[in-house]
Structure 1
Amino acid sequence: MLYLLAGLLLSAPTVLAEPRNLKDWSTPIVLDRSGGFQIGGVIKQSPTDPARTLSCDHGYMEYFIPWEPRRTSVVLWHSSSTQVWQNRWDGGQGFKDMFLRRNYPVYLWDGPRVGRANWACEPTSYRPEYRDQDNFAAWNFGPSFGNWWPGVQFPADDPAAWQQATSARYQEFDTYDNVQLHARVAAVAADSGKVGKNIVYMTNSAAGLRAQLTATRSNTTNIKGIFAFESIGFVFPDNVNITDTRGGFGPVVVPLEEFKKLAKVTTIQFFWGDHRAANEAGVVQSRLAAQLINQYGGNAQVVMLADDPSLKGSTHVAFADLHNAKVAGLLDQILNRNGLDSYEGSSDDWWWRK
């Protein structure tokens, strides 16, 4: 059973090292180029007139390439909003600019049927759901609407910040078929070389499941990392006693040989914010997924951010929290430790030695 197997890991401590002393998160951003492109998808013929077609179910990638780029591309992936990567909750600097300042090529990804890739091959519908208040607890701002966690890294006294947070959404299609579609198209993007040959996905929420599944669908070794903030859903092999729910939030079960591709990813990190109990379903599943990845020679860890006193107060969206520079510092250290921060044309991180 899922929870029995995962229980073996609950006693394993999570060790967080101090982020290395960052030189600066405020150096000028100097770009070589920026732009965007559609990728994947199909051309569908009209059922009534085969001469007429619809280009649909593609993904959209916006890119920013620094003047002196590192080898690793950072793909920022949220299942329902790219905006959360662009700014902190209070409007301060977000991960997009932070990693550009560190000279990583940065890509903002909209999967098929959402955001800027919303032309679908099948009918879709939108039905208003009055869920602003539900977002509050779901995003771990507090136990119930308006009741903030003490010390939460959100500008709780700023109503405009809350309104920005709950408005920054696309329509999200959390179905099994959509998860599979996103993974197929993202794998096309990863294998194309258009996003580079050293890709690290930084994901949030339901995008974590999609990124894991993408790695199992990819036919190259271009995917080097997955940094999943509070992943909703996990991928498991078909040789353990786990049932694929065929739902939008996993678990998703794949053939063992496909699952082993996750063990070839250089580093996989599952991050959790505050107030996540050790026996919470998502935490339990993340520990089991990490155990199974490592069993086949992988390098996966579960990181409880609150174990580091400097990262307490983290929400479901720690990369947009007020202390997001410290969170980015931790990721910067992990990239360095796994050899994912070198520059094009060099085996050394020459910028760091300046």
Structure 2
Amino acid sequence: MLLSILTSVLAAQTTAERPQKPIVLSSSGGFQIGGRTIHSPFNPNLTLSCDHGYMEYFLPSRPRKTSLVMWHSSSTQVFQNRWDGGPGYKDLFLRRNYPVYLWDGPRVGRANWACEPTLYIPTYMDTANFAAWNFGPRYKQWWPDVQFPTDSEDAWQQATSARYVEYDTKANVELHARAAAAAADSGRVGEDIVYLTNSAAGLRAQLTATLSNTTHIKGIVAYESIGYVFPDNINVTAGKGGFGPYVVPVEQFRKLARLPAIQFVWGDHRAENMSSVVESRVVARLINAYGGNARVVKLGDVGLKGSTHIPFADLDNGEVAGLLDDFLGENGLDGYVDGGDDEGDDDGKDDGRVLLKG
């Protein structure tokens, strides 16, 4: 028995210390897309290019066909690291050889040059951030099983500082969706796109799919989506604010049903009667009624406990990523550009090294 225990310990140490294959990129960069140019009312020769989105990209040397567009309505940082500073979704899926794109919609983050005046007034958001990101029922009262390093004040400061201003108005949601649709239709993000969204970005991605004029968008995985799109042939009244409900012509709504797959994902601390959970189930049924493939997944039902509002940054984000692996594989979205398979590839673990070829 002692020998067995020692063998297990040594094996675990060997695995932990084993050098991992570095992430190898063929290129990385970024570009602006969408937007418009306006002229000064006082001097028409003066112009401003504004209301564009910004896309940062990381392209593996041997890429899969599906591009993963990571979209949060107020923070790309949440895709870059785990709460404890470990590897985030960006590196986890670059190691799996998926092209990764980080998207900032118009007027937020690195795309904040607006065509209209915007207003920022400092507000005391830390308390609201704690509850909104579902670290616990109220400020600094952590869920007992929460997947967050609760003993680290630095981790909390990193998390609450990660947000930047978002404009949750109906007009801005539509502005974001139009810019994202232009990016999808341009081909510059690839011909097979899956949106990985969080919070209010889920609504924006749904609307983007209804506006796109190509078949490039292949799926949406919406983590804790706040806001949903409904067809205009049912008794749903459109909301006036930036969290919906959004009502679109039924022919536009059918575009959601044409996507190979959609998944709405919720953590285990979300009540079944929460309005957004209820809406996600209604919208999934509507999409499926038109021949689509939409599912609602509760992480607690598949054994993942203590999830926050941003489960892909949680301490168990490797297991959350495994569910995404399954989603991509089951829907034929995990193939390689060269037609090969995963044989010989790394297992997705990260050692912090990134190489850039070329």
Q: Name the TM-score, length of structure 1 as normaliser.
A: 0.91
1:328 corresponds to which of 316, 321, 341: 321
Question: Could you tell me which amino acid in structure 2 is paired with residue 168 of structure 1?
Answer: A
Does the alignment pair 1:340 with 2:333? yes
Aligned partner of 2:5 in structure 1 is none
Does the alignment pair 1:314 with 2:302? no
Aligned partner of 2:87 in structure 1 is 93
Does the alignment pair 1:139 with 2:107? no
Residue-by-residue CA offset, 1:35-62 (whole Å, 9 max, x unaligned): 0000010011111111110000000000
Superposition RMSD in Å: 1.4
SS at match of 1:161: helix
- Matching of residues 191-340 of structure 1 within 5 Å: 191-309=185-303, 311-340=304-333
TM-superposed deviation, 1:131: 1.6
Does the alignment pair 1:162 with 2:135? no
Flag the 1:353–1:124 CA change in 2: closer, same or farther, 3 A. closer
Identity %: 69
Tell me if the contact between 1:26 and 1:101 (Cα under 8 Å) persists in the aligned partners: no
**Which 5+ residue runs of structure 2 have no aligned equivalent?**
1-17, 347-358
Aligned residue pairs total: 329
SS at match of 1:36: strand
Residue-by-residue CA offset, 1:109-153 (whole Å, 9 max, x unaligned): 000000000000000010111120111111111111111111110
SS at match of 2:23: coil
2:108 corresponds to which of 111, 114, 119: 114
Tell me if the contact between 1:25 and 1:102 (Cα under 8 Å) persists in the aligned partners: no
Residue-by-residue CA offset, 1:220-274 (whole Å, 9 max, x unaligned): 0100010100000000000010010121011100000000000011110000012
Aligned partner of 1:17 in structure 2 is none
Tell me if the contact between 1:71 and 1:342 (Cα under 8 Å) persists in the aligned partners: yes
Question: Could you tell me which amino acid in structure 2 is paired with residue 139 of structure 1?
Answer: W
d(CA) in 2 for partners of 1:111 and 1:59? Answer: 5
TM-superposed deviation, 1:350: 4.1
d(CA) in 1 for partners of 2:269 and 2:326? Answer: 24
Does the alignment pair 1:52 with 2:39? no
d(CA) in 2 for partners of 1:308 and 1:114? Answer: 34
Flag the 1:39–1:353 CA change in 2: closer, same or farther, 3 A. closer
Aligned partner of 2:59 in structure 1 is 65
Does the alignment pair 1:177 with 2:150? no
Aligned partner of 1:349 in structure 2 is 341
TM-superposed deviation, 1:278: 1.3
d(CA) in 2 for partners of 1:86 and 1:194? Answer: 22
1:103 corresponds to which of 97, 104, 111: 97
Question: Could you tell me which amino acid in structure 2 is paired with residue 131 of structure 1?
Answer: M
d(CA) in 1 for partners of 2:82 and 2:36? Answer: 36
TM-superposed deviation, 1:349: 2.6
Aligned partner of 2:183 in structure 1 is 189
Residue-by-residue CA offset, 1:133-175 (whole Å, 9 max, x unaligned): 1111111111111111111100011111011000001111000
State the structure with more CA Rg.
2
d(CA) in 1 for partners of 2:128 and 2:104? Answer: 24
Question: Could you tell me which amino acid in structure 2 is paired with residue 262 of structure 1?
Answer: L
Tell me if the contact between 1:30 and 1:66 (Cα under 8 Å) persists in the aligned partners: yes
d(CA) in 2 for partners of 1:110 and 1:26? Answer: 31
Does the alignment pair 1:77 with 2:77? no
Flag the 1:352–1:336 CA change in 2: closer, same or farther, 3 A. farther
